[in-house]
Chain A
Amino acid sequence: MAQRTTEIIVGLFMIAGLAALLVLALQVSGLSPSSAESTYTVYADFNDTGGLTPRGRVSMAGVTVGTIESIALNKETFQARVTMSIRSDVDNIPADSSAVIRTSGLLGEQYIDISIGGDMESLQAGDSFYSTQSAMNLERLISNFASGR
């Protein structure tokens, strides 16, 4: 085969590889070109984070507005401190909003839902949520029910 034909076919092969990587990036992992947008950090203290994991989503009214950065134990209060980064364009979360851990679907992953409060002031970077609601623990719920409390 002529050298030129081989070169063209190999070039097409490499392009196919790059295109496949692009598909994996954009379509499969949902990487959008604007994903490196600026964010700000807020905190929330939970009694029980259940199965919450880093990289999970933070949503408001079902719309994803940020991600969970890290979960660590606060040794003084024995609560879990969750660090979240929220998109900068969502800068008007009322200061008395509460962070609630919910489960998507029956078996889905857990995420943080922000229930909107009514305060005129909004959360600033570095603030903590005033009220939180921990993950629903089915076992505890059943044992409470069974023991009649």
Chain B
Amino acid sequence: MIDRIASLGRLGLDIVTSFGRSGQFLAGVLAGVPRPVTGFPLLIKQLYSVGVLSLAIVVVSGLFIGMVLGLQGYTILSDYGSEAAIGQMIALTLVRELGPVVTALLFAGRAGSALTAEIGLMKATEQLSSMEMMGVDPLRRVIAPRLWAGFIAMPVLAVIFSVVGIWGGMLVGVDWLGVFEGSFWGNMQSSVDFVDDVMNGVIKSVVFGFVCAWIAVYQGYDCVPTSAGISSATTKTVVYSSLAVLGLDFVLTAVMFGDF
């Protein structure tokens, strides 16, 4: 009985410690902003691997999600004879919710897991500690560029996702199902507000990008330096990122779009 209570206490302590460590880690990384001149090539390289290489999966998923939204929306809306509202439905769904959220989930799977595995392997092969021996701060040299790259790439990817999705919805709705193009765009433009909808979506994706990148680099940096440790850290990255994104999405939606 006492053992049970003790293990529960240990679990609680572990959770609190890991939160504390990740916060400390974040403070350390943010203090080590990449230096404008020497850090810039590192940041570009990470932006390439985190952002540009995620582009393919983001574009393809965006296209298909937009097309599915168009098909489903048409089926439902045509029951009420208001197919013309399909543009409004697709645009609001994508810009407010699906764009930031699905991009963040894909980002966690595609880029976050790779970041964790890369940093974890660096730790396992003691590259990080040898950097410290040489007097190079691994937080500044390895972690900071990756965190900033995730932070910058995520909103860009989310915006591209939304645009491709709307285009996919237009392909299905207008070109295939024959919704009048003027009312498709007109309904959309009269209901989507740039600040309230588009910018709030961008803010969401900035938050998600930050959280995903933070979880990914922390899990890599904090992993047990064995092959089993790296694999469990990679799993944790994807699971924690997805949960954090979905939970935060609810909070942000309640704050941004809830009427209270």
CA distance A27 to B155 in the complex (A): 19
Chain A CB count within 10 A is highest, among B159, B162, B202, for B159
Contact A16/B160 with A28-B188, A28-B198 known, Cβ cut-off 8 Å = yes
Kindly state whether residue B190 has any CB partner on chain A within 8 Å.
yes
Enumerate the 8 nearest inter-chain pairs by beta-carbon distance, A residue then B residue, closest first.
Answer: A30-B189, A17-B156, A29-B194, A29-B192, A20-B163, A20-B159, A31-B194, A20-B160
Interface residues of B (CB under 8 A from A): 41, 44-45, 47-48, 51-52, 55, 80-82, 84-85, 91, 95, 153, 155-157, 159-160, 162-163, 166, 185, 188-194, 197-198, 202
A contact residues around B80 at 8 Å (CB): 106-107
CB contact list, A1-48 vs B, under 8 A: 3, 6-7, 9-10, 13-14, 16-17, 20-21, 23-25, 27-31
Number of residues of chain A lying within 8 A (CB) of chain B: 26
CA distance A85 to B155 in the complex (A): 34
- Whether the pair B162, A10 counts as a contact (CB closer than 8 A) is no
- Whether the pair B198, A24 counts as a contact (CB closer than 8 A) is yes
CA distance A3 to B44 in the complex (A): 9
- Whether the pair A25, B194 counts as a contact (CB closer than 8 A) is yes
- Whether the pair A24, B44 counts as a contact (CB closer than 8 A) is no
Contacts A3-B45, A7-B44, A20-B159 aside, 18 further interface pairs with beta carbons under 8 A come to A3-B44, A6-B45, A7-B41, A10-B47, A10-B51, A13-B48, A13-B153, A17-B157, A17-B160, A20-B156, A20-B162, A21-B159, A27-B189, A29-B192, A105-B82, A106-B80, A107-B80, A107-B85
